[in-house]
Amino acid sequence: METEGGPSVVCGEKHKALELISTLGRDFKQADGKFRFIVYEHIVPFFLFLHNLIESIITPNIALQKGNILIYGLEKLAANKVLREKWKDLTSLPSNATSVVVLQRIVTFSLKSKQQMIREKRGLKPNKNSMAIPQQLRHTTSSSGKPKCKEIIQLRSGSMSSDNIRSFLQSLSTYPYSNREAMLAELQSKELAKILKSLGKPTFLGKRK
């Protein structure tokens, strides 16, 4: 979601983001210790719209393995004006930093969930690091200190600089399709947003005014 201004990525406040999420639904801890986010009934139409939108974007390109599904999907969703208007109507909030961050998290989480379902259908190893959205927001940077490949270590060690992103994308292109998807699934939504911005693509995490 782009706005005019400088190159900085918008950052919201965690406590405000959690407050906003609490108006959408509740997180329930399951018997296996994992969390499941249950949305309130009046919120369901928005998530049905998001689900159908993701299906319409992802499904036609899965068979073709067009580009990278996660990056491709985020780019298309970030440019979708109807999605942004529905989110604005749902939250009854102006498009402030926190509102945009929460929408970015929800969209990224939904895309990764769809991606994982596809991986499971193909018999590929699922990503076991999935977590509920409020958990993601509570997660500190220390939790991202255990990446599963050297490329992600190098990317983060350079503070997501342009050179590091370019090097990461070059390395990514040398891997098989399924490996690229798994590597990108390890990145946080803000990191994915920075990669999109470096490619000149739309992103929900816009620029500061």
Q: What is the full DSSP assignment across 99-148?
A: HHHHHHHHHHHHHHHHHHHHHHHTTPPP-TT---HHHHHH--GGGGG--S
Looking at the fold, whether 32 and 92 belong to one and the same domain comes out as: yes
Residue 132, in any domain of the structure: no
Instruction: Please say whether the beta carbons of 159 and 169 come within 8 A.
Output: no
Question: What percentage of the chain reaches a pLDDT higher than 90?
Answer: 5
Residues 116 and 160 occupy one common structural domain: no
Look at residue 26 and give its three-state secondary structure: strand
Instruction: Give pLDDT tens digits for 44-85.
Output: 899 999 999 988 888 776 655 555 777 888 888 888 999 989
Residues 88 and 19 occupy one common structural domain? yes
| Domain-located, residue 91 | yes
116 shares a domain with 17: yes
Model's pTM, two decimal places?
0.55
Most confident of 111-125, 140-154, 165-179, 193-207: 165-179
22-36, 97-111, 181-195: which range is least confident on average?
A: 181-195
Contact 108, 189 (CB under 8 A): yes
Residue that is last in its domain, among 102, 122, 142: 122
Residue 156: domain span: 150-199
Least confident range from 121-125, 149-153, 157-161, 194-198: namely 121-125
Asked if residue 167 and residue 112 are part of one domain, the reply reads no
131-154 average pLDDT score: 53
User: Same domain, yes or no, for 167 and 108?
Assistant: no
Nearest 5°: the CA angle 111, 115, 207 is: 30
pLDDT at residue number 8: 42
- Residues 102 and 165 placed together within one structural domain of the fold: no
